[in-house]
């Protein structure tokens, strides 16, 4: 009778791609889909909008808190186990969010979502990059672009549509069937990899880095709108900065640090990480400030201003095709440097008086931003880990995501500082400060072109004898799912 029980046979690399894409789409959507529903949520629970904003605060702060420990957990307990555990927690928390009877329950469940999401991204990318050797990662451009570009862009319109025609509860219920299917596929299809930590858990590093990132994320997220001098914001910013400095000093001295900052000394990886931070600052900054400029110049509604940046996501989708075809021919440096320079020029064009007044010019330029900047970002993300071995991949992914997350938050904060933290309230608002902020984002992207000169000239090449179906380093084909323990 036992012979009738047939275990599904799924190619591990196909399973990795499918499970990663499903999980990251859920995570990407949830970073933006709730924003249009905050007014409705506040009204349903009889609470002010400021209280409902904690729904997003809890998610973002918890996400930042999960990043520092992601690499260590994956190495210690296995990337498959941690990834599927985080995905399970994310899915269950989504169901609780949808069923939440009050705002407090929703905020707590949202925090669990964020914490799980902070583990999903670096551990998921570790699974993906361990499954594909460097010379094959160029194929991943189409995979990486969907959750990182399309899903966050679809979040606001989809959130508004579901809230208006169904209810805000469905913003979270949509994750449940997708998450469940991805978990089942991952159980049967993913391979386990346990790298094994080099020593004891870095408790001191954990208690320094984790609150530092959480406090800084809170301050950078609310300083622009609530004012940097507000006690809660000022204390979080100062304490977070002090803890971050202490964390860095500890990490560089510790024998077995929570975050291997020494990886940043690698020419390619260090440059790619810095580039990730700078480009995230420029992109998130312009996506924050340009809708405000659009309203100041045209007197457009908030919805029209939000839709004006949507062509950027379309350009990003096309960028995946560009990288797939041009990266093997041109190499990382020759593809990234011109793309960043063109992107900086497009950013600057948005700040020229008269451009923002033309809706079709705006749409075209936003499409170009997605195309050229997306080409650079994808190239950096794919080629930046060429020199990172399987043993350090988990740590490298966690560190890369931390730098990119803080870079995006700093870009928004810098633009908010230039415009004075204000918001456009009428068509006659002075667009001058908003144009200046757009120039700042252009300068950030242009600075990235200098860093890109440190990227390698040549794309990764396959080894002399390449077996596409061979298991990744550290795994044994015969075990098929049994953990490969190293260290």
Using one digit for the tens of pLDDT, what is the confidence trace for 120-153? Answer: 888 887 887 777 776 666 666 666 666 666 666 6
Comparing 43 with 187, which gets the higher pLDDT?
187
pLDDT of residue 6: 47
pLDDT of residue 468: 44
pLDDT of residue 487: 36
- Going 329 to 384 to 480 to 178, the CA torsion angle's sign is negative
Whether residue 277 is predicted with pLDDT greater than 90 in this model: the reply is no
**Mean pLDDT, to the nearest integer, of 226-239?**
79
Q: 10 Å Cβ neighbour count for 208?
A: 23
For the chain, first and last CA: distance in Å?
41
Cα separation, 432 vs 17, whole angstroms? 45
Mean pLDDT score across all residues of the chain: 76
Cα separation, 24 vs 151, whole angstroms? 9
DSSP 7: P
DSSP 419: T
In the numeric block, the tokens 């406090």 are attached to 215
Confidence tier at 320 by pLDDT (50, 70, 90):
confident
For helices 393-418 and 103-131, angle between their N-to-C axes, nearest 10 degrees: 130
Whether residue 95 is predicted with pLDDT greater than 60 in this model: the reply is yes
Percent of the chain with pLDDT over 90: 3
DSSP 150: I
Q: Whose CA is closest to 439, among 228, 289, 307, 252?
A: 289
Q: Whose CA is closest to 54, among 45, 23, 397?
A: 45
Confidence tier at 341 by pLDDT (50, 70, 90):
very high
Within 201-262, where are the H helices? 203-226, 231-253
Whether residue 375 is predicted with pLDDT greater than 80 in this model: the reply is yes
In the numeric block, the tokens 């400029």 are attached to 293
Q: Is residue 37 within 8 Å of residue 161, measured between CB atoms?
A: no
Cα separation, 383 vs 395, whole angstroms? 17
Q: How remote is the C-alpha of 231 from its chain's centroid?
A: 29
Confidence tier at 485 by pLDDT (50, 70, 90):
very low
Q: How remote is the C-alpha of 369 from its chain's centroid?
A: 18
∠ CA 133-137-139, nearest 5°, is: 135
Confidence tier at 91 by pLDDT (50, 70, 90):
very high
């Amino acid at each position: 009778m036992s012979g009738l029980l047939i275990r599904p046979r799924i190619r591990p690399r196909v399973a990795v791609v499918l499970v990663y894409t499903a999980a990251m789409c859920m995570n990407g959507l949830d970073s933006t889909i709730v924003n249009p529903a905050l007014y409705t949520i506040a009204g349903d629970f009889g609470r002010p909008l400021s209280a409902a904003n904690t729904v997003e605060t809890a998610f973002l702060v918890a996400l930042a808190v999960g990043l520092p420990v992601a690499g260590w957990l994956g190495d210690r307990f296995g990337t498959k186990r941690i990834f599927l555990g985080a995905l399970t927690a994310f899915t269950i928390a989504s169901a609780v969010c949808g069923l939440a009877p009050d705002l407090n329950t929703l905020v707590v469940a949202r925090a669990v979502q964020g914490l799980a999401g902070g583990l999903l991204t670096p551990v998921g990318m570790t699974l993906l990059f361990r499954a594909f050797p460097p010379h094959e990662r160029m194929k991943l451009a189409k995979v990486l672009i969907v959750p990182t570009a399309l899903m966050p862009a679809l979040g606001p319109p989809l959130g508004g549509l579901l809230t208006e025609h169904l209810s805000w509860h469905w913003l979270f219920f949509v994750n449940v069937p997708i998450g469940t299917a991805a978990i089942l596929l991952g159980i049967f299809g993913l391979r386990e990899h346990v790298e094994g930590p080099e020593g004891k858990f870095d408790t001191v590093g954990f208690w320094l880095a984790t609150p530092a990132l959480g406090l800084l994320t809170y301050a950078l997220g609310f300083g622009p709108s609530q004012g940097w001098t507000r006690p809660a914001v000022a204390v979080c910013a100062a304490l977070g900065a002090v803890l971050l400095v202490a964390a860095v000093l500890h990490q560089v001295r510790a024998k077995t640090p929570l975050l291997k900052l020494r990886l940043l000394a690698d020419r390619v990886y260090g440059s790619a990480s810095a580039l990730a931070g700078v480009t995230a600052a420029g992109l998130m900054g312009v996506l924050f400030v340009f809708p405000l400029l659009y309203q100041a110049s045209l007197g457009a509604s908030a919805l029209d201003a939000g839709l004006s940046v949507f062509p950027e996501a379309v350009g990003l989708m096309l960028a995946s095709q560009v990288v797939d075809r041009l990266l093997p021919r041109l190499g990382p440096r020759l593809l990234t440097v011109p793309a960043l320079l063109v992107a900086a020029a497009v950013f600057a064009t948005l700040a020229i008086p008269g451009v923002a007044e033309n809706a079709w010019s705006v749409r075209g330029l936003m499409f170009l931003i997605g195309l050229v900047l997306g080409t650079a970002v994808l190239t950096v993300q794919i080629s930046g880990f060429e020199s990172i071995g399987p043993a350090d991949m988990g740590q490298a992914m966690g560190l890369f995501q931390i730098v990119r997350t803080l870079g995006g938050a700093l870009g928004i904060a810098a633009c908010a500082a230039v415009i004075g933290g204000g918001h456009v309230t009428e068509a006659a608002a002075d667009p001058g400060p908003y144009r200046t902020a757009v120039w700042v984002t252009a300068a950030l992207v242009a600075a990235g072109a200098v860093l890109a000169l440190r990227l390698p000239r040549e794309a990764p090449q396959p080894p002399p004898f390449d077996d596409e179906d061979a298991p990744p380093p550290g795994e044994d084909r015969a075990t098929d799912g049994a953990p490969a323990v190293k260290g």
